[in-house]
């Protein structure tokens, strides 16, 4: 089986580096400079800082509404637009995530973040856009602009009717957890979420997830939410000869929520998912899977600082594709479930989640049984120092249709320590580690160990309050 040689790619790209660097940096900074010039345009009114809010109930499973993990009394600014930029240096001991061709390298990264948050009695908008550019010393094929964005919109059509739209996506070359690190989130994950722990051998990934929710409430106890969702993942240039699975999927469902007490909610989720996979020849060049899910869940706020959600249900999976000469594989019934617990006090905040369900196979497989455990911890240290710890374990099992015996196990861990240097600038240093091992006859080249260390400074260039 032939393999692409990354070393030859390095030599080829080296001659084009000066021209590519000038073009990329011009494109990266153009939008940033334009925004800086436009930002001082007069705004409506200066809005005071939002008061801390504590949810009366923990969320039920199905909505996928996760919130940043905060300390007790910590405030997320609203009615504000801001722009930040930073520079980071990093060392990666396995740039290509391949133990058979291990290459270590150093890089410099230029990152920025545009935040827009607006909230009124009827309208809510939250935008987080993060472009960044990386310059490697040797692995120049990763020297590209990377982008990630999250958008949430909500509008109250009537007293008891609310519509919400959401979306997140990105275009990324390589894997840089120490640069594009997202805030630690809390609460149960979305049932349509895309895999984030198992890694793949590719230099380019395009991913996106978007949806629309319509919620109708009756009084203060009952609500009914209808939802539609679309997600996709596409892999670009790959470093191995075995292609990965591109995927796109549609889903629709309904969530019934009933308020049992002042602090406890009961929920029922019914969900239909229809996904199509293409590109790999193991299960056929094109395969379609359909998953029917039903879950019962209970979310409770046991105290002002402690919230718990548990959920369990059944999933019926059927496949269409080149499994057999007729229509596909027989249906398969799976028991799924999980839970989350969040504890937020003055100096420590921690969140832990567990989930077992049939979902996307991260490009290595089609639909698969995913078992995931994640933990996030924030802690105020000495003085102005703050530390955070995040980790995850995942097993992706391809034996769902009894036609393969492969499975992939992955573990990730990260530590970040930060300290403000001034009112607008802060210093951060991070360490991230990833380990992955596969068993069985497929896929090819998915075992690796990887470590990244980075240090940098971020600075808030502009910040303006908007609205009232």
Distance from C-alpha of 393 to C-alpha of 413, rounded to nearest angstrom: 9
**Number of other CB atoms surrounding residue 295 within 10 Å:** 24
Distance from C-alpha of 34 to C-alpha of 338, rounded to nearest angstrom: 46
Does residue 443 have a pLDDT over 90?
no
* Residues paired with 125 in a beta bridge: 118, 153
Provide the 3-class DSSP secondary structure of residue 142.
helix
Can you read off the two tokens belonging to residue 161? 């009717």
Residue 452 lies in a domain: yes
CB 441 within 8 A of CB 408: no
| Predicted local distance difference test score (pLDDT) of residue 200 | 76
- Domain with 439, as residue range(s), is 6-465
Overall average pLDDT of the 206-218 stretch = 93
H-run or E-run covering 326: none
Overall average pLDDT of the 394-421 stretch = 87
Contacts of residue 414, Cβ cutoff 8 Å, sequence gap at least 6: 177, 178, 181, 389, 390, 391, 430, 431, 432, 433
ω into 443 cis (within 30 of 0):
yes
| Predicted local distance difference test score (pLDDT) of residue 438 | 86
| Predicted local distance difference test score (pLDDT) of residue 192 | 80
CB 61 within 8 A of CB 191: yes
Count how many domains the chain has. Answer: 1
H-run or E-run covering 240: none
Residue 325 phi/psi, 5-degree rounding, is -80, -5
Can you read off the two tokens belonging to residue 19? 């021209």
Residue 332 lies in a domain: yes
29-33, 330-334, 458-462 — most confident range: 458-462
Overall average pLDDT of the 315-342 stretch = 77
Provide the 3-class DSSP secondary structure of residue 366.
strand
38-42, 141-145, 274-278 — most confident range: 274-278
Does residue 4 have a pLDDT over 80?
no
- Residue 419 class from Cβ within 10 Å (0-12 exposed, 13-18 middle, 19+ buried)? middle
Residue 86 lies in a domain: yes
- 148-160 per-residue burial string, b: 16 or more CB within 10 A, e: under 16: bbbbbbbebeeee
CATH, residue 121: 2.40.160
Distance from C-alpha of 384 to C-alpha of 448, rounded to nearest angstrom: 37
Overall average pLDDT of the 205-227 stretch = 93
DSSP state string for 44-108: S-PPPPPPP---SSPPPTTS---EE---TT-----SEEEEEEEEEEEEES-TT--GGG---EEEE
CB 203 within 8 A of CB 187: no
Characterize the bridge pairing of strands 222-235 and 425-439.
unpaired
Overall average pLDDT of the 70-95 stretch = 92
The residue whose two tokens read 């300290």 is 419
- Long-range contact list for 437-440, CB < 8 A, 24+ apart? 437/408, 437/409, 437/410, 438/364, 438/406, 438/407, 438/408, 438/409, 439/405, 439/406, 439/407, 439/408, 439/409, 440/398, 440/404, 440/405, 440/406, 440/407
Sign of the C-alpha dihedral computed for residues 17, 21, 22 and 23 taken in this order? positive
CB 189 within 8 A of CB 353: yes
Residue 1 lies in a domain: no
Distance from C-alpha of 235 to C-alpha of 241, rounded to nearest angstrom: 13
The residue whose two tokens read 């000469």 is 325
| Predicted local distance difference test score (pLDDT) of residue 409 | 93
The residue whose two tokens read 């919230």 is 307
Answer with the residue of higher pLDDT: 275 or 65: 275
Q: Which of 183, 98, 110 has the alpha carbon at shortest distance from 386? A: 183
| Predicted local distance difference test score (pLDDT) of residue 140 | 87
Does residue 457 have a pLDDT over 70?
yes
Largest CA distance in the chain: 67
Residue 37 lies in a domain: yes
């Amino acid at each position: 089986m032939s393999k692409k040689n990354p070393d030859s790619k390095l030599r080829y790209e080296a001659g084009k580096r000066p021209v590519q660097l000038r073009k990329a940096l011009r494109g990266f900074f153009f939008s940033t400079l334009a925004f800086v010039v436009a930002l001082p345009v007069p705004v409506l009114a200066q809005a005071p800082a939002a008061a801390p809010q504590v949810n009366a109930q923990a969320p039920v499973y199905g909505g996928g509404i996760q919130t940043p993990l905060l300390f007790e009394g910590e405030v997320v600014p609203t009615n504000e637009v801001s722009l930040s930029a930073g520079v980071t240096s990093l060392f990666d001991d396995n740039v290509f995530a391949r133990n058979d061709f291990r290459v270590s390298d150093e890089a410099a990264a230029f990152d920025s973040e545009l935040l827009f948050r607006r909230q009124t009695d009827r309208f809510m908008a939250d935008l987080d856009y993060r472009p960044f550019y990386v310059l490697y010393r040797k692995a120049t094929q990763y020297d590209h602009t990377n982008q990630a964005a999250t958008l949430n919109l909500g509008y109250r059509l009537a007293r008891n009717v609310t519509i919400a739209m959401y979306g997140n996506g990105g275009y990324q070359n390589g894997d840089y957890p120490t640069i594009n690190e997202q805030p630690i989130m809390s609460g149960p994950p979305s049932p349509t979420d895309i895999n984030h722990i198992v890694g793949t051998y590719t230099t380019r990934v395009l991913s996106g997830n978007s949806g629309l929710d319509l919620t109708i409430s009756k009084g203060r106890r009952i609500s009914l939410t209808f939802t539609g969702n679309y997600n996709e993942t596409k892999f670009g240039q790959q470093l191995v000869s075995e292609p990965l699975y591109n995927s796109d999927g549609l889903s629709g469902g309904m969530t019934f929520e009933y308020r049992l007490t002042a602090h406890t909610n009961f929920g029922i989720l019914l969900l239909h998912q229809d996904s199509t996979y293409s590109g790999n020849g193991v299960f056929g060049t094109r395969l379609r899977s359909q998953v029917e899910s039903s879950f019962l869940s209970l979310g409770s706020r046991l105290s002002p600082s402690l919230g718990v959600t548990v959920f369990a249900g059944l999933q019926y999976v059927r496949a269409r594709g080149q499994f057999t000469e007729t229509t596909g594989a027989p249906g398969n019934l799976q028991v799924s479930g999980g839970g989350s617990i969040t504890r937020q006090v003055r100096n420590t905040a921690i969140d832990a989640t567990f989930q077992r369900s049939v979902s996307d196979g991260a490009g290595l497989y089609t639909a698969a049984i995913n078992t995931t455990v994640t933990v996030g911890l924030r802690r105020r240290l000495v003085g102005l120092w703050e530390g955070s710890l995040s980790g995850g374990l995942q097993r992706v099992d391809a034996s769902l249709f009894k036609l393969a015996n492969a499975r992939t196990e992955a573990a990730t861990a990260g530590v970040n320590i930060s300290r403000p240097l001034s009112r607008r600038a802060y210093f951060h240093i991070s360490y991230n580690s990833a380990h992955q091992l596969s068993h069985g006859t497929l896929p090819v080249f998915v075992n690796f160990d990887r470590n990244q260390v980075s240090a940098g400074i971020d600075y808030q260039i502009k910040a303006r309050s908007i609205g009232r």
